[in-house]
Amino acid sequence: MCRTLSPFLFITSLAFGGVLHAADKEPIQPINAAKVANPAMVELGKKLFFDPRLSRSGFISCNSCHNLSMGGTDNIKTSIGHNWQRGPINSPTVLNASMNVAQFWDGRAKDLQEQAGGPIANPGEMAFTHELAIDVLASIPAYRAQFRQVFGQDKLTIEQVTRAIAAFEEVLVTPGSRFDQWLMGKKSALTKDELAGYQLFKSSGCIACHNGPAVGGNTFQKMGVVEPYKTAMTAQGRSAVTGKDADRFNFKVPTLRNVELTYPYFHDGEAATLTQAVDVMGRLQLGRTFTPDENAKLVAFLKTLTGKQPQLVLPILPPSSDTTPRPVPFD
Amino acid sequence: MCRTLSPFLFITSLAFGGVLHAADKEPIQPINAAKVANPAMVELGKKLFFDPRLSRSGFISCNSCHNLSMGGTDNIKTSIGHNWQRGPINSPTVLNASMNVAQFWDGRAKDLQEQAGGPIANPGEMAFTHELAIDVLASIPAYRAQFRQVFGQDKLTIEQVTRAIAAFEEVLVTPGSRFDQWLMGKKSALTKDELAGYQLFKSSGCIACHNGPAVGGNTFQKMGVVEPYKTAMTAQGRSAVTGKDADRFNFKVPTLRNVELTYPYFHDGEAATLTQAVDVMGRLQLGRTFTPDENAKLVAFLKTLTGKQPQLVLPILPPSSDTTPRPVPFD
Q: Which residues of B touch A (CB under 8 A)?
A: 50-53, 57-59, 64, 67-71, 74-77, 80, 83-84, 86, 260-261, 263-264, 272-275, 309, 311-317, 319-320, 322, 326-327, 329-330
- d(CA B267, CA B264) in angstroms, rounded, equals 9
The answer to whether A96 and A217 have CB atoms below 8 angstroms apart is yes
Q: Which of B50, B59, B69 sits opposite A80 (nearest CB)?
A: B59
Please report the pLDDT score of residue B331 as a whole number. Answer: 85
Per-residue pLDDT tens digits for A205-237: 999 999 999 999 999 999 999 999 999 999 999
Q: What is the CA radius of gyration of chain A?
A: 21
- Going by C-beta distance under 8 Å and a sequence separation of 6 or more, which residues neighbour residue A176? A31, A307, A308
Q: Facing residues of B103 across strands?
A: B109
- d(CA A64, CA A51) in angstroms, rounded, equals 10
Q: Is B189 exposed, middle or buried (0-12, 13-18, 19+ CB in 10 A)?
A: middle
Closest-approach residue (CA) in chain A for B58: A76
Q: Which residues of A touch B (CB under 8 A)?
A: 50-53, 57-59, 64, 67-71, 74-77, 80, 83-84, 86, 260-261, 263-264, 272-273, 275, 309, 311-317, 319-320, 322, 326-327, 329-330
Closest-approach residue (CA) in chain A for B64: A59
Residues of A classed as catalytic: 125
- d(CA B52, CA B58) in angstroms, rounded, equals 5
Contact B329 A59 (CB under 8 A): no
Residue B176 Ramachandran class (φ > 0 left, ψ -120 to 50 alpha, else beta): left
Q: Is B41 exposed, middle or buried (0-12, 13-18, 19+ CB in 10 A)?
A: buried
Nearest to B201 by CA among B26, B55, B23: B26
Catalytic residue among B26, B43, B125, B294: B125
Residue B71 Ramachandran class (φ > 0 left, ψ -120 to 50 alpha, else beta): left
State yes or no: pLDDT of A15 exceeds 90.
no
* Number of neighbouring beta carbons within 10 Å of residue B13: 9
Quick one: what percent of chain A has pLDDT higher than 70? 93
Closest-approach residue (CA) in chain A for B52: A74
What one-letter code names the amino acid at B109? A
Q: Which of A52, A84, A272 sits opposite B326 (nearest CB)?
A: A272
Residue B125 designated active-site: yes
Q: Facing residues of A251 across strands?
A: A221
- d(CA A87, CA A122) in angstroms, rounded, equals 11
Whether residue B2 is annotated as binding a ligand: the answer is no
Q: Where are the beta strands (DSSP E) in A166-252?
A: 220-222, 250-252
The answer to whether B69 and B78 have CB atoms below 8 angstroms apart is no
Q: Facing residues of A86 across strands?
A: A80
pLDDT in tens, chain B (331 residues): 334 333 333 333 333 334 445 556 899 999 999 999 999 999 999 999 999 999 999 999 999 999 999 999 999 999 999 999 999 999 999 999 999 999 999 999 999 999 999 999 999 999 999 999 999 999 999 999 999 999 999 999 999 999 999 999 999 999 999 999 999 999 999 999 999 999 999 999 999 999 999 999 999 999 999 999 999 999 999 999 999 999 999 999 999 999 999 999 999 999 999 999 999 999 999 999 999 999 999 999 999 999 999 999 999 999 999 999 999 999 8
Q: What is the CA radius of gyration of chain B?
A: 21
Q: Interior CA angle at A122 toward A117 and A125, to 5°? A: 105
- Going by C-beta distance under 8 Å and a sequence separation of 6 or more, which residues neighbour residue B60? B52, B81, B82, B125, B126
Q: How far apart are the first and last CA of chain B?
A: 47
Contact B330 A69 (CB under 8 A): no
State yes or no: pLDDT of A24 exceeds 70.
no
The answer to whether B148 and B142 have CB atoms below 8 angstroms apart is no
Closest-approach residue (CA) in chain B for A53: B75
Contact A64 B59 (CB under 8 A): yes
The answer to whether B121 and B115 have CB atoms below 8 angstroms apart is no
Contact B68 A315 (CB under 8 A): no
Please report the pLDDT score of residue B24 as a whole number. Answer: 63
Q: What is the 3-state secondary structure (H, E, C) of A65-106?
A: HCECCCCCECCCCCCEEHHHEECCCCCCCCCCHHHCCCECCC
Count Cα neighbours of B12 within 13 Å in the Cβ-side half-sphere.
5
Chain B: nearest CA to A291, how far in angstroms?
18
Please report the pLDDT score of residue A37 as a whole number. Answer: 94
Chain A: nearest CA to B322, how far in angstroms?
6
3-class secondary structure, A313: strand
The answer to whether A174 and A31 have CB atoms below 8 angstroms apart is yes
> What is the biggest distance separating any 2 CA atoms in chain B, rounded to whole angstroms?
68
- d(CA B220, CA B4) in angstroms, rounded, equals 11
Chain B residues inside the 8 Å CB shell of A53: 75
What one-letter code names the amino acid at B325? P
* Angle formed by the axes of helices B6-16 and B192-203, nearest 10°: 140
Per-residue pLDDT tens digits for A71-86: 999 999 999 999 999 9
Contact A74 B80 (CB under 8 A): no
Q: Where are the beta strands (DSSP E) in chain B?
A: 80-81, 85-86, 220-222, 250-252
Contact B329 A80 (CB under 8 A): yes
List the domains of chain A with CATH numbers: 6-30+176-305 (1.10.760.10), 39-170 (1.10.760.10)
Q: Which of B80, B260, B326 sits opposite A57 (nearest CB)?
A: B80
The answer to whether A222 and A18 have CB atoms below 8 angstroms apart is no
Q: Which of A51, A76, A84 sits opposite B84 (nearest CB)?
A: A84
CA dihedral A221, A225, A230, A236 (to 10 degrees): 30
3-class secondary structure, B166: helix
- d(CA A217, CA A305) in angstroms, rounded, equals 14
Q: Facing residues of B220 across strands?
A: B252
Chain B: nearest CA to A70, how far in angstroms?
6
DSSP B265: B
Whether residue A2 is annotated as binding a ligand: the answer is no
